[in-house]
Structure 1
Amino acid sequence: MRYLMVDGHGDPNVGTAFQDAVEALYPVAYKLKFASRDAGRDYVVPPLEGLWWADDMDSFTAQRDKSRWDWTLMIMVPDWVDTSSVPSSVRIETLSEGRCVQTLHVGAYDDEAAVLERMHTSFIPENGLRMTGRHHEIYLSDRRKTEPAKLRTILRQPVA
């Protein structure tokens, strides 16, 4: 799939880098959507997604040290969309993850650690799999409008 992407580092709740990345993506996504609609092919802008990784993946589970996290925020765009006018602050890249393990998490983002711990240390190895690629999240809820206990997030991990 083809995505608009912006990279960053660190705790998404500290500083402005994470919010700046969100604010860079959405205007571009909607500009492309409206240009496509005007050309006769409308579509719904998909939800925000994120790839997450760190040198030590325990920083997502046991340690929960967000300052060590790297991330790429993404919004998918259809293949037919002309992306020639995308600004240099946003890149376009194709993501092909292959086989994945995923689950729907309902609740606050900070409550994901236990789910990820089970996914990484129990489910994946118990099924003869190993993690490949970056942890992937798809944000089905708008965190600005949804109480934390009701947030819905797909947690995905590419595996082999």
Structure 2
Amino acid sequence: MAFDFKKEYKEFYLPKNRPEIIEVPSMNFIAVRGQGDPNEPDGEYKASIGLLYGIAFTLKMSPKGDYKIDGYFDYKVPPLEGFWWMEGVKGIDYSRKDHFQWISVIRLPDFVQRKDFDWAVMEATQKKKTDYSKVEFFHYTEGLSLQCMHIGPYDDEPRTIQLMDDFAQEHGYQIDITEERYHHEIYLSDVRKCNPQNLKTVIRHPVKLI
């Protein structure tokens, strides 16, 4: 059976719908950076998702070709994630989506090294006749964080974020979003198939002790 990151690492992907503190280890990702409203039908964000999955599935399907990745085991491609911020704004202003800056990512299995990533970019570029030059190998250490499962439309996230802010204050933590530590979302639902009221999104914020 294929390794499922969501099931094997429930503490990172399936939190309760109440705030909790967690220590998140270093991880490697496939990443694309961009800016603008993620809801634009032909926008930069939608294009980034196609690039991410192009590389993700090239790596996953590598055993069917000649290239062999050391330590490879069958796995399900992890869920789409995103790091979000706005220049000159503390937190997120959901009324100004055109001001979003983002890094859209998909987690890499630990056995995938940079050389394997570079091969996948070259392979996908040749086979899919697509420019993957915007895709990067992204290493990120999230560290001490506060997370909560948000259920419902993305525009309703502020109510969950308020719960997280209240929890942090009550338990001696401070939200620590900086130029290197981001508002983080993990998308567990397929927005194309799911009722907006049932969307499941992990919201994670970096924190520090006061």
TM-score by length of 2: 0.69
How many residue pairs align between the two structures? 157
**Which stretch of structure 1 is more off in the superposition, 106-115 or 9-18?**
9-18
- Find the partner of 1:12 among 38, 46, 62: 38
Asked if 1:49 corresponds to 2:93, the answer is no
Matching residue of 1:135? 183
Deviations 1:98-117 (A, max 9, x none): 11110101111111122113
Report SS of the residue matched to 2:174. Answer: coil
Give 5+ residue unaligned stretches, structure 2: 1-26, 122-131
Give 5+ residue unaligned stretches, structure 1: none
Give the letter aligned to residue 173 of structure 2: L
Would you say the 8 A contact 1:103–1:156 is kept in 2? yes
Deviations 1:11-43 (A, max 9, x none): 211351110111111111000111157645211
Distance of 2:63 and 2:197 partners within structure 1: 36
Matching residue of 1:153? 201
Larger radius of gyration: 2
Matching residue of 1:72? 103
Matching residue of 1:104? 149
Would you say the 8 A contact 1:11–1:69 is kept in 2? yes
Would you say the 8 A contact 1:99–1:159 is kept in 2? yes
Report SS of the residue matched to 2:150. Answer: strand
Sort the Cα spacing of 1:106 and 1:36 in 2 relative to 1 into closer, same or farther, 3 A.
farther
Give the letter aligned to residue 49 of structure 2: V
Give the letter aligned to residue 16 of structure 1: G
Deviations 1:44-94 (A, max 9, x none): 10000000111213543xx63212221111000112122122242200111
Distance of 1:156 and 1:59 partners within structure 2: 13
Matching of residues 118-129 of structure 1 within 5 Å: 118-120=163-165, 122-129=166-173
**Which stretch of structure 1 is more off in the superposition, 8-17 or 36-45?**
36-45
Deviation at 1:9, TM superposition (A): 1.1
Matching residue of 1:34? 61
Would you say the 8 A contact 1:58–1:64 is kept in 2? no
Report SS of the residue matched to 1:99. Answer: strand
Give the percent of matched residue pairs that are identical in Structure 1 and Structure 2: 39
Give the letter aligned to residue 9 of structure 1: Q
- Find the partner of 2:134 among 89, 96, 102: 89
Deviations 1:93-150 (A, max 9, x none): 1111111110101111111122113323x22223221222101000000111111111
Asked if 1:23 corresponds to 2:45, the answer is no
Deviation at 1:154, TM superposition (A): 0.4
